[in-house]
Amino acid sequence: MNNKIEFIENGSVTSVPGFKAAGVTAGFKKSGAPDFALVYSEFPAAFAGVFTSCTFAAAPVLLGREKVLAGGTLRAFAINSGNANACTGAQGLANARKSCEIAAEKLNVPASDVVVASTGRIGVQMDMSLIEKGFELAVPALSNDGGNDASRAIMTTDTVPKAVAVKVKINGVDVTVGAMTKGAGMIDPKLIAPHATMLCCITTDIAADNATLAKLLEPCAQDSFNRITVDGDMSTNDTVILMANGRSGVAIAEGTAEFELFREALLSVMQKLAREMVMDGEGATKFVTVKVINARSVADAKLAAEAVANSLLCKTAWFGNDPNWGRVVAALGYSGAEFDPANCNIYYDETPVVRNGGDAGTPEADLLDVVKKREFVITCDFGEGRGEYWVWSSDLSHEYVTINADYHT
């Protein structure tokens, strides 16, 4: 990481000057845990967003896409946990719009300056009295140090809140990027610009227009949230919103050194949160990096890496501390990637597993030492080109099955 980028202790969305946040209990969760978050910019903020590519996109996603395409500014981002407002038809979309109107009235901002996101059970109409209560409680609770409360309020099956912030000096001035995310299951995002569920709010005090922010956000999403998988299931609600209020006075434009330095800071925040999501995957005990190198193309490398990362047989082997590399080569073989098995070498960390398509002869005890670790890397070297791709994955445990057999928000 660039040594100009510094992580802030207990950083969050409100580490950024000009942003307030709150996390409250509106009543969506039967447990009584916090379930409604509000992030508010004291100044009109430029913004960009990327959303799930799932055809069954939730109502807040449909509305969010509209707002990104329409442009303008943002003042608030509200997130409820406990109802996804997905597969709810015209009424669900009307409820998402009404949520923005309620926020606008409470905050005295235009409804067009509000976006919403939801996570929870699919197919249930939103109880708007709970949305009303959420804003009634959250607006007076908005605070310059409320970011960590907000991160707790968006959790579902997450076991820990996920928030981060960094500072980076650009032209001698401190620029801050803060973020929060949630997601532990239903995680295999394929976020796209408009044209869980994992939800993410990113704040910054950089000065940039919406188009510049979009050029930053989408490629950073491709190299962070789009590189992770817990269970291979994409959500109906995946959403990432980036808000920039310009309070640092530092302006950036594409093609400049300042743009590149800010991109590094933004990516460092998004990758840290993406990593935390995999580490906190439902029932996860392992963090596994699957890396394919020297493939004929990046597309081939991506197919191969994702096949291994999502293989149920591989994931259950990792949980059982089983170095069974036969499952890895099988996944590579059916991935659709073009390669010659005779050129393929595989490593667990630095330990040879497969050489030229066959057993490398490493004692199984040595392989076992690797796969017992909390974190390890599987490197698949196709030896045929320059294409590379990596994915962060987790194992699949008994607890994952228990959580998702019983889960009912």
332: how many CB neighbours lie within 10 A of its CB?
23
pLDDT of residue 210: 97
pLDDT tens track for 296-316 = 999 999 999 999 999 999 999
65: how many CB neighbours lie within 10 A of its CB?
19
Interatomic CA distance for residues 373 and 378, integer angstroms: 12
Confidence of residue 185 (pLDDT cuts 50, 70, 90): low
**């004929």: which residue's tokens?**
296
pLDDT of residue 195: 39
pLDDT of residue 196: 43
127: how many CB neighbours lie within 10 A of its CB?
16
Confidence of residue 184 (pLDDT cuts 50, 70, 90): low
409 pLDDT higher than 50: no
Interatomic CA distance for residues 165 and 222, integer angstroms: 20
Question: Catalytic residue at 14?
Answer: no
- The token pair that represents 323 in the structure block: 């170095």
pLDDT of residue 187: 46
pLDDT of residue 186: 53
Cβ(79)–Cβ(37) under 8 Å?
A: yes
The total number of residues shown for the chain amounts to: 409
Interatomic CA distance for residues 188 and 136, integer angstroms: 34
- The token pair that represents 196 in the structure block: 């869980």
Number of alpha carbons in the 13 Å side-chain half-sphere of residue 254:
9
Task: Single out the catalytic residue among 156, 176, 197, 289.
Answer: 197
Q: What is the pTM of this model?
A: 0.93
**φ/ψ (deg, to 5) at 98:** -65, -35
Cβ(311)–Cβ(331) under 8 Å?
A: yes
pLDDT tens track for 68-127 = 999 999 999 999 999 999 999 999 999 999 999 999 999 999 999 999 999 988 999 999
Domains for the chain: give ranges and CATH numbers: 5-279 (3.60.70.12), 287-406 (3.10.20.340)
For 270, residues 6+ apart whose C-beta sits below 8 A from its C-beta are 179, 200, 202, 220, 221, 223, 224, 225
Question: Collapsing DSSP states into helix, strand and coil, what is residue 359?
Answer: strand
Give the residue with greater pLDDT, 398 vs 254. 254
